[in-house]
Chain A
Amino acid sequence: MNRKIPVALSRMAWLRRGRTRRGGRQFWLYLGLSSGALLFCWPFLWMISTSLESFEDAVTPGLGVWPASWHWENYLETWRSSPFPRYFLNTFIVAGTVSAAVALSATLAGYALVFLHFPGKKLAFMLAVGAMMVPFEAIFIPNFVLVTRLGWYNSLAALIISWCANGFSIFLMRQAFLAVPFEYYEAARLDGCGSLRFLFRVALPLVRPTLSVTAVFAFLGSYNALLWPLIVTADGSRRVVQVGLTVFTTESGVQLHLLMCAATIVMLPSVLLFLLAQRAVSDTMMATGVKG
Chain B
Amino acid sequence: MSIRLSVILIAVSVLSLETACRRDRGSFLPVDPNAAVFWDRQDTQSAALMRGMVEEFNAQSRLLPIRWEHGGGYAEIFRKVSAGIQAGLLPAMAVSYESMTSEYIAAGAAVPLDRWIHDPQVGLTEKDLSDFFPATLECNRYALHGNRMYSFPLAKSVLVMYCNREVMRCAGIQKAPETWTDFLEACRTIHQATGKAALAAVPDCSTFSGMVFSMGGEVYDGSRLQYDGPESLASFSLLEEMVREGLLSLAPPGTFDDNIALVRGDAAFVMRSSSSRTYLLKMAGEKGATLLDIVPIPQKNPRRPATVLFGPNVTIFPVPEPQQKAAWGFVRWFTQPEQAARWAVATGYLPVRRSALTHPLIRQNWDTWPPNRVPYDCLEFARSEPNVDGWQQVRVLVERALTEVMSGTRTAREVAEWLQREGTRALKRATQAEGRPGRDDRNST
A90 to B152, CA, bound (A): 36
B43-A146 in contact (CB<8A)? no
Partner of A149, one of B44, B71, B87, B264: B87
A234-B31 in contact (CB<8A)? yes
Name the interface residues of A56-77: CB closer than 8 Å to any CB of B.
Answer: 56, 59-61
Q: Nearest B residue to A239 by beta-carbon distance? A: B70
* A253 contacts chain B at the CB level, 8 A cutoff: yes
- Looking at B72-80, B127-135, B228-236, the stretch in contact with chain A turns out to be B72-80
B21-A253 in contact (CB<8A)? no
* A97 contacts chain B at the CB level, 8 A cutoff: no
A149-B20 in contact (CB<8A)? yes
B44-A248 in contact (CB<8A)? yes
Partner of A231, one of B3, B69, B76, B280: B76
Q: Nearest B residue to A250 by beta-carbon distance? A: B43
A230 to B72, CA, bound (A): 7
* B196 contacts chain A at the CB level, 8 A cutoff: no
Q: For B260, list chain A residues within 8 Å (CB).
A: 59-61
- Encode contact with A along B255-266: 1 for CB under 8 Å, 0 otherwise: 011011000100
Shortest CB distance A126–B (Å) = 14
B21-A252 in contact (CB<8A)? no
Partner of A146, one of B17, B79, B89, B257: B17
Known: A61-B260, A145-B87, A231-B80. A252 touches B276 (CB 8 A): yes
Shortest CB distance A37–B (Å) = 29
Q: Nearest B residue to A142 by beta-carbon distance? A: B21
Shortest CB distance B305–A (Å) = 23
A231 to B91, CA, bound (A): 12
Q: Nearest B residue to A235 by beta-carbon distance? A: B69
* B387 contacts chain A at the CB level, 8 A cutoff: no
Partner of A255, one of B43, B47, B80, B280: B43
Shortest CB distance A86–B (Å) = 14
* B99 contacts chain A at the CB level, 8 A cutoff: no
* B290 contacts chain A at the CB level, 8 A cutoff: no
- Encode contact with B along A244-257: 1 for CB under 8 Å, 0 otherwise: 00111111111100
* B275 contacts chain A at the CB level, 8 A cutoff: yes
| Majority DSSP secondary structure for residues of B touching A | helix
Shortest CB distance B230–A (Å) = 32
A253-B83 in contact (CB<8A)? no
Q: For B336, list chain A residues within 8 Å (CB).
A: none
Known: A149-B21, A234-B31. A227 touches B79 (CB 8 A): yes
B256-A254 in contact (CB<8A)? yes
A230-B21 in contact (CB<8A)? no
A58 to B42, CA, bound (A): 21
Shortest CB distance A254–B (Å) = 7
* A278 contacts chain B at the CB level, 8 A cutoff: no
* A55 contacts chain B at the CB level, 8 A cutoff: yes
* B410 contacts chain A at the CB level, 8 A cutoff: no
* A44 contacts chain B at the CB level, 8 A cutoff: no
B43-A249 in contact (CB<8A)? yes
Q: For A248, list chain B residues within 8 Å (CB).
A: 43-44
A252-B272 in contact (CB<8A)? yes
* B283 contacts chain A at the CB level, 8 A cutoff: yes
A-B contact pairs, 18 of them (CB 8 A): A55-B282, A81-B44, A119-B2, A141-B86, A144-B86, A146-B17, A146-B20, A148-B89, A149-B20, A149-B87, A150-B20, A235-B67, A243-B72, A246-B76, A247-B44, A248-B44, A252-B276, A255-B44
Interface residues of B (CB under 8 A from A): 2-3, 17, 20-21, 31-32, 37, 42-44, 46-47, 67, 69-73, 76, 79-80, 82-83, 86-89, 91, 256-257, 259-260, 264, 272-273, 275-276, 278-280, 282-283, 285, 348
**Beyond A243-B72, A247-B70, A251-B275, 12 additional pairs, beta carbon < 8 A:** A55-B283, A59-B260, A144-B87, A145-B83, A153-B31, A234-B37, A234-B69, A247-B44, A247-B47, A252-B259, A252-B275, A258-B44
| Nearest 10 CB-CB pairings of A with B | A252-B276, A252-B279, A253-B256, A148-B87, A144-B83, A250-B43, A81-B44, A145-B87, A253-B279, A246-B72
